[in-house]
Structure formats: C-alpha cells, structure tokens
Amino acid sequence: MKIIQLNIYGYGQFHHTEIMLDSPSFQVIYGENEAGKSTIMSFIQSILFGFPQKVQQEKRYEPKHVNAYGGSLVAETVQHGRVKIERLPGKAGSGVTVYFENGETGGADVLQQLLSYFDKTVYQSIYSFDIHGIQQVSKVGAEDLGKFLLSSGLLGTDAVLQTELSLSKKQEQLFKPNGKKPEINAALTALKDIHTEVMKAKQHLEPYSDLINEKEAAEQSLREITERKRELEADAKRIGEIVEALPLFHEEAALKDELDKAQSHFPSNGLKRMEELEGRESPLRSEYMALKTIIREQTEAIEQVPAEERILECKEEIERLRGEYSAWEMKRAQYGQTRTKLEETESRIHEEKKRLFSHEIDNRTILDLNTGAAVKEEIREIVGKHQHLQQKKHLLDQQFERVKENLEESENRLSDYAERMLEEEERRQLEERVRYLEDVQRASLDKKKLSEEHRAVQTDIRKQKDAVEKNNSRLKGLGVFFALIILLCTGWLLSEELWLIAAVLLSLGLAGFFILMKNSKSDTSFLEHLEKKEKELKEQLDAADNDSDTTSDMETAKGILWKDEQIRRSYELEEVVFKQSERAYDRTVSSFDDWEKEYYTADQQARRAFEALHMDSSFSPLSLPDLLQSAANLQNDILAFRQAEKKAAELSADLTAYEKKVASLAQSFEIEGTACSSLLDGLLKALKDSEENKRMRETAAAKRAEAEDKLKKIDAEIGLLEEKKNELLSLAGACDTEEFWEKAKEAEHLAAVKQKASWIQQQLKTKQHLLAHEPLDFSKDYTAEKARCEQELIAAADTENQLKKKLAELTVHIKSMEESGVYSDLKQKAALQKEEVKQLARQWAVLAAARHMLNQTVEYSRSVRLPSLLQQAESFFSRLTNERYVKVFLPENEQTITVERKDGTRFAAHELSQATAEQLYIGIRLALSCHISTSEAMPLLIDDGFVNFDRERTGRVMDLLRELSEHHQILFFTCQEHLLKLFHESEILDLEKKKRAAGLSPHS
C-alpha cells in the first residue's frame, strides 16, 4: 500500500487542504516546529484505524475554526489498484467508507482486510517509530537493555520488558526469600509469633487435658450405646412385623390344604367358551332370517322395474351433444359479445371519424394513413419544436417584462436623480461662492496682502483699458483699409468674370475680419477677467470683517456640493445601467422577431402533418401525437371490426348446425320443446331415467346374489358352532347344558380359592426379609419376644440420656475454661493469620504463573520467530555500523541480545555505546517491519528518528531506508533542514511553502 494523496476536511490546524505525495516510494515531509508534521502523521493513522476516543489520552486534533472533522486519503494497493479511504465521525467504525475504481464501496470490514487486520497499536509498534522510541534506549538501565532490544524484536515495543518488570516487581512486593518487609514475609513472621503465644497460654491450663480425655471417653460410650439401641430397635421392629403377619401365614397354609383335597376335570375357560359360542350363534341365526327376507324383497324389486334399451343405444350421441353443449353456450355467448363489440366498435369508429375529420372519409382511406415509426418521429420533432418555442416564448415574455421593468425603474431613478441635482448655474454659483469664501478665509489671514493685490489688479485694469482702446482704434483703421482693398479687387475680378478667384479673395477677407474681431474680443475678455477678479478681491476685503459667518457658510455650501456630486455620480452610473437596460430591451425585441420566424417554420411543418393525416389544422400542433395515436387506434378498431364480422359469421354457422342435431335426435324420441337447451335436457332426462332403471335392476340382482352367498356361509358357521358346543359338553362330562352350568359353578369356586391364595402369597412376598435370619416357627411365642426387646430398648435409652447429660456438662465446663483466658483469642487470631497468609500466597502464585507463561512465550518466539528476524537485523546492523559489527545472536538461556565485532570480540547489549545501541535498535525495528509478511506492504512512518546521529551515520540510515522503499513506502517527517541535502527535490514536501501557496499563515 502506497499513500499518494491526503484530503483533510478538518484536522488540527489543517482544513480543506489537499496534500499530494509526489514521491510514492520515499517521501520527505519537512517543516519547522508546529508546522503540522505530527498532525499529518496522526491524520494518516486516524483515517486508517479510526479517530482517538475522548476517553483516551491520545490527542484528537479536533479543528478549532471549522465544523468539519476527518478527511480521506488515496492509496495504491496490490489487490484493488487505487482506492480512496474516507473517514468521518461515527460510532464503532460506521464513519469509514472505502471507494474502489470500479465504483463499488466498502466499510470497516473491507478496510480491515486491506490493512491485514492490524489495529492501530500493532501498526505503531511495527511500522511507526520516532525519536522517543530511540531515546528510550538511553533511558533503559544497563541490566535491562538486552531485554528491551529483545522485546523490540518481538513486538516492536518494550511491552514484553515492561510486563515482565511489572510482574517481577509485584512478586517482590509480596515475597522475598530473605526479606522482611514484603507482605508474605511479614505475615509469616506474625503467624510464628502468634503460635508461640498460643503454646504458652495452653501450658497454664493443666486440668484442661483431663477434661478433654473424659469428654472423649463419654463420646465413645455414647456412640456404643447408640449403636446397641439401633440394633434393639431393628429386632423389635422385625418381631413386631412377624406378629402382624402371622394370620396371613396361617391362612396360606389352610388354602393350600383345601386345594390339595379338591379334584376337578372342568375344561379350562369352559364357561367363557360356552358363553362365547352361544353369543356367536344367536346373531348368526338372526342374520340368517334377515337374509331370507332380503332375497325375497330384491326378487320382487327386479320384477317391478321396466327396461328401456333403445335410448341407451344412443347414449354416446347424447353424451357427445351434452359435452358440446358448453361449447355451444360459449359460442352463443361469444356470438352475443361479438355482436355487442361490433356495435360498440362501429359506434366508436363513427365518433372518432366525427371528432378527427371535418369531412366524410372512408375506412380504406383511414387504413392507408401512414402511422409508422417514421411519422411518429417526425411528429415528435414537430411537437418538440413547438414545446421549445412555447417555452422560449414564455421565457421571452418573462424576460421582456423583466427588462421592461428594469428599464422603467432605471428611467424613474434617472428622473429622480435629475430632479435632485442642482442646476448648472446654481452649482456654478455655489462653486464660486465656495471659492470666494475660501479666498475670504485666506484673505482674513493676510488682509494687507489682499489690499495690495486689489490695488495691483485695479492698476492692471486701467492699463488694460488703455491698451484695449488703442488696439481697437488701430484694428478699426486696418479693417477699413483692408475692406476697401478687398472690395475693389473683388469688384474688378467680378467684372472680369473670374468668379472663383473673387470668391476666394472674398473668403480670405472675411477670415481676416473674423481674426481681427477675435483678437479684439480676446483683449476684452482678459479685461473682463481682471474686472471680475477685482470684484472678488473687493468682496473678500469687505467680507474680511465678517469672518465668523464665512466658515459656516462655506461648510454648508461644500455639503450641498458634495451631496450634489454624489447624486451626479449616481446619475452617471444609472445612465450606464439605463443604456444596458435599453440594449437588453432591444435584444429582447430582436429575439421576439427571431421567435416569430421559427414559429412560422414550425407551423408550416405542423400544417403539412395535418394534411398528411387528412385532419383539420385547427387542432393545436401539440395535440399531433394524440391525434396520430387516435388515428392508429382508429385503424386498429377498423381492422378489429372486420375480424369481428368474420368471427360472428363463423359462430352463427356452428350454432345452427348444433341446434339441428339436437332437434333431430329429440324428435326421434318424441321429446317436445322449442329451445335447444330444453330439448337437450329432455334427452338427458330420458337417458338418465333409463340408466337409473337399469342400475336399479342390476343393484337388486347384485344384492340378491350377495344375500344368497352370505346365507350359505352363515349356515355353515351355525353347523360348526353346534359341533364345538357338543365338544365342550363331552369334555365337562355333562349330558346337557344344565349339567354343564352346575359343573361350571364348582370350577368358579376353586378358581376363587386359587386367586385368594395367590393374593396372600403376593402379600407375604413383602415379608420375606423377616425370614432372612431364621425360618418361621409357629410354635415360638413371638409376642413375648417382642416385649423383651422393648424393655431392653428402654434401658438403653436411659443410659443414652445419662451419657448426653454428662457430655453436655463437660462441654460447658471446657467452653468456660476456653472463654475465661487469652487462649481462645490467640487461637482465633492464629486462624485469621493463617487465612491471610493463604490469600497472599495465592496472589503470589498467580503472578508467578503469569510470569512463567510470559517467559515461555518469549522463549518460543526466541526459538521460532527471532532467528530469521535477527538474521535480517544482523544485515541491517552491519550496514549501519559500516561493517564494524558482523553478527547478532541470542545467548542460550538468557533474555538478551549479543553482538560480535569484526575482530571477533563479543559484546552484551549493555556494553555497547549509546549510538551503537540505537543503531542496533533501528536495525531490529526495520527488520521487524520487513519480516512481517502481509499481502499489502504497509507504509513506514518515521518522525525525526535520527537526530542523535552524525552525518556519516545518518547517510548510511538513509541509504538503508531508500533500499527498503522498494518494498515499503517511507514517509519521513523531519524539522532538520540540513537533512534535505540527502534527498532529491521531488522527494521533499515543504509544509511552509504549501501553506504560503494556499494563502495560510505558516504556523496557523
């Protein structure tokens, strides 16, 4: 994955900013402090993995000046090509969207797949590191440096080291082998002291042991008497049950004697078998009589039903006609519908002709009308033009009203401005008044100078008057002289008929006269100017004494002039607007002329279309599609009318043929009727009656035959039952049925005795456990034996009560002794202390197990993952140290890293110099990023990670990074200007220049 573009909507100091990464393999992002490097680095991680939550300590970079938050980035991927990842604020990744080149989109699950299911923490630990991670090398103690580097090789961070140190510290806080302050050590010491105090307190209680022994002896005796009591209770219960069961045992013996004496040869279940045979014989004899009746009745029924065979021979023809009847009805309905449709279609055709055509027109002409696709397309174009022209007309009307309104408004404003403007003479007077007042104001400052100037002007006026008088007298003499000469010459030329020369000479004379008059007037105008100036100076001198009113008058006049100037400027601007409105008005009028020409052309096309359809052009051109469709529908109706006429004729022929067949068959069987349906119903009824009679005869004959067969079977069954009854009488030794019933009663009595004996045996089965110890002896007195057991049981109960009483007294005595001293308190305290030690021991065991599992995981990674990773790290470390160190390996049974110098000397991690340790850390981190294989090579983010390196070491790091950039994009953030010399200009993105180009403050 290579990031090629960042679009920041709002993030930190950036908003609405687009950043192009022109060098997709190795991009250097340069900027001074607070230029936004960390903001861009955080923005990339936030777009890929989500914005930091508010509960997290990580900065969220929420913008201060805009509401937008988030942005997008564009990246080149191996699997999907160019993708755009956009993230906006949302819950649980709902704000992220991935856009593909083919137009498809995806969500957070697709983005996770692109990122190889890395989260932000894993990405930062593998593909992102800065100066803080490198400076951590200097902060780690010498004894833990090897573990720190090993942890960096496993996870990219010191998480393993920190977790192992935390677990070790917590264990030591709980227990140390030779410690005193840890919690378990202190608790064991306290438990030992308490146990010593308990033993001392126990020595002061000498009678206590005797009482304990006596109590134990009493408890033993109580257990023995209790056991004896249980045995006596069991014997008494067994003997009592034997006494209760003795009557059953005696009755069982008596029943056995009675059964042994009785003898019976009555057949098994004889009575039941006889009852069954008689029960079966009785319904058979009743059924025998019923069958005889049925045979007689069915014979009579057969003789009463008549037989009609002639109509049955025509059954197929009648059935065929009945099958065709539904088709006939359907055709009749179709015929009616067709006739109705014909009438409706004919009426519709007439109405449409009347509506569409203003003159009579035949169907053939209508069918010949061209309503094809070409005509539809032509009409569609005509309608489109008319619609366009109507819309254009509507727009022109609106435009005309708008332009007219603007023109009128502009004209009204011009009139208003003209009314409010000062007249030219009034304005000139005001301007002169202002100049005069300004001169007065200036004159008031130097009245003496003004008086001298006034006197000088008066002197000039006198001189100018003298000069003008002299000049006028001289010019008059010259004018008279030249006039006489020109008149004489002109007269002579005219007399010689030299008209052209005379005209030229006369023109020259007139021109000279005008020049002389102009010079005279110029002198006079200068004199007027001097007189005017003299008048102004005099007024200024006169007004010098009234200077207090001069300032207010001047300000008032200036205000009026300023206001008039503003109105004049507005008037000039409005004149421009008025001219523009006039031009717009002229253009609108011209557009109306163009529209009229277009409308005429379109109207001619519409008229030709109406003529082609033989329709009146009074219809609106916009109705042409509907009219064409109506014509096409009319053609379809005419064609449908012709088809319906043909179909009606065919249906009429089929109906007539069917009705003739039905009428002919009905007449042959003398069935009367007029309608086809009634005739067919008569035929079907006659056929049904004949079939019913035939069925009745056949049914009666079948019932008679069935009854005769059943009669034969019942007769055989009755004979068989008689034989079985005789066999039972023979087995019972009886001559007749009465003797059989007497012997049956005797057999029932013996069966009752057997049943009672069986019941008693079932009852005694529950008493068999009473005979487990000894067989039943009817000569023994079980009642006396029961009384003896009960007396022994009473004696045992008395002994038990005495022992319980004694045991209770001993318990109370011992308890009072325990409660009277410190012994009981010390025992309780010892128990509580033991429980506390157990709890602490369990906590220590949990920590020990966690630490063991962590070490096992590290050891597994040492043996499986790290060898190949360290092989890559060894190559990087060798290049970074300029081949001074050649090997990096893991010592056996140690969680550290060892390196070997070129001369064969080996160094533990804590023995390396600070710069060399940092080079080893960088080699391991870069090897880890290369070692993690994913489908998309993730970009490496490095933030000023090499500020502690000299120029030579920095150059070697950059060479290594440039080599890695062939597989991973490198984004190198730096504020070190001297590093820019190591890169090509196309690889450098200067944030300061970009901000200046965008018109932003460099540190905004």
Task: Give me the pLDDT at residue 767, please.
Answer: 67
> Which amino acid is it at 657?
A
The residues with which 7 forms a beta bridge, in sequence order, are 18, 72
pLDDT at 546 over 70: no
Could you give phi then psi for residue 248, rounded to 5 degrees? -65, -45
Q: How far is 224 from 231, CA to CA, in rounded Å?
A: 11
26-30 and 940-943 beta bridge pairing: unpaired
What tens digit of pLDDT does each residue of 564-601 get? 888 888 888 888 888 888 888 888 888 888 888 887 88
Q: How many CB atoms lie within 10 A of CB 529?
A: 12
DSSP 674: S
Contacts of 146 (CB under 8 A, 6+ apart): 894, 895, 896, 897, 898, 908, 909, 910
Under DSSP, is residue 967 helix (H, G, I), strand (E, B) or coil? coil
Tokens representing residue 39 in the block? 């903001």
Task: Give me the pLDDT at residue 161, please.
Answer: 54
Sheet strands side by side (includes 128-130): 128-130, 940-943, 970-974, 26-30, 988-990
Q: How many CB atoms lie within 10 A of CB 700?
A: 19
Q: How many CB atoms lie within 10 A of CB 628?
A: 23
pLDDT at 159 over 60: no
Q: How many CB atoms lie within 10 A of CB 440?
A: 24
| Mean model confidence pLDDT for the chain | 77
Side-chain half-sphere of 156: how many Cα atoms within 13 Å?
Answer: 19
pLDDT at 959 over 80: yes
Highest mean pLDDT among 37-46, 115-124, 559-568, 825-834: 37-46
Closest CA relative to residue 40, chosen from 996, 1001, 859, 989: 989
What tens digit of pLDDT does each residue of 262-305 get? 655 666 676 677 777 777 778 877 887 888 888 888 787 777 76
Task: Give me the pLDDT at residue 808, please.
Answer: 84
pLDDT at 474 over 90: no
pLDDT at 140 over 50: no
- Asked if 810 and 246 touch (Cβ cutoff 8 Å), the reply is no
Q: How far is 631 from 379, CA to CA, in rounded Å?
A: 13
Highest mean pLDDT among 570-579, 632-641, 845-854: 570-579
Task: Give me the pLDDT at residue 6, please.
Answer: 93
CA-to-CA dists, residue 514 to 517, 527, 871, 970, angstroms: 5, 20, 116, 94
pLDDT at 235 over 70: yes
pLDDT at 791 over 80: yes
What tens digit of pLDDT does each residue of 722-734 get? 777 777 777 776 7
pLDDT at 861 over 70: no
pLDDT at 480 over 70: yes
Query: In whole angstroms, what separates CA 967 from the centre of its chain?
Result: 36
Closest CA relative to residue 410, chosen from 575, 589, 583, 585: 575
What tens digit of pLDDT does each residue of 407-426 get? 888 888 888 888 888 888 88
Under DSSP, is residue 156 helix (H, G, I), strand (E, B) or coil? coil
Q: Where are the beta strands (DSSP E) in 502-581?
A: none
**What is the DSSP track for 805-864?**
HHHHHHHHHHHHHHHHSSHHHHHHHHHHHHHHHHHHHHHHHHHHHHHHHHHHHHHHHHHH
**Least confident residue range of 33-42, 137-146, 784-793, 910-919:** 137-146
pLDDT, mean of residues 118-122: 80
User: What angle separates helix 207-261 from helix 737-765, to the nearest 10 degrees?
Assistant: 170
Task: Give me the pLDDT at residue 155, please.
Answer: 47
With bands split at pLDDT 50, 70 and 90, how would you rate the model's confidence at 825?
Answer: low
* pTM as predicted: 0.37
Q: How far is 345 from 227, CA to CA, in rounded Å?
A: 119
